[in-house]
Homo-oligomer: A and B are copies of this chain.
């Protein structure tokens, strides 16, 4: 089981955009150079976050990306769900109903499959953990990050040839 790398990218971008809120919007070109990521593909991964109302983007020469809400109002699970989709990792296909083992089952299958129930409960615990953390919490976990980010961003803007 593997989570796409877009989740790591998206979360780091949200945190960085939170630190640069007063310098937003940040063009995708700067954002990609910031983490040394492929620009086109990063853009493709951020678009679902805009559709989910987490990020905002604008065209034009002063366009770019920014947080669409306050960092306190964006939970980690929202970012993960927007990037990985709403479906659960474990998907019950009801194999218990198929084949020779399913004959004459009676009302037994009216109940939810026990395996499905257990897996679902585990995923709920996982989601609950991620729902309890926000972008603001992540920003607070790296107290030096805000200063470093703003300092480096100023320098890049100043040395830019454009």
- Residues of chain A at the chain B interface (Cβ within 8 Å): 1-5, 7-9, 11-12, 15-16, 33-37, 76, 84-85, 87, 89-93, 95-96, 98-101, 103-106, 108, 111, 114-115, 117-119, 121-123, 125-130, 133, 137-138, 141-142, 144-145, 148-149, 151-153, 155-156
Given known A-B contacts A5-B93, A108-B145, A129-B122, A98 and B36 have beta carbons under 8 A apart: yes
Residues of B within 8 A of A12 (CB): 95-96, 115
Residues of B near A104 (CB, < 8 A) are: 148, 151-152
List B contacts of A5 (CB < 8 A). Answer: 91, 93
Offer 14 A-B interface pairs, CB within 8 angstroms, sorted by A. Answer: A1-B2, A1-B85, A3-B89, A8-B90, A12-B96, A34-B101, A76-B118, A101-B148, A118-B130, A119-B130, A122-B126, A122-B127, A125-B125, A125-B128
**With A1-B84, A33-B100, A138-B118 in contact, is A9–B95 under 8 Å at CB?**
yes
| Distance (whole angstroms) from the CB of A34 to the closest CB of chain B | 4
Q: Which residue of B lies closest to A133 (CB)?
A: B118
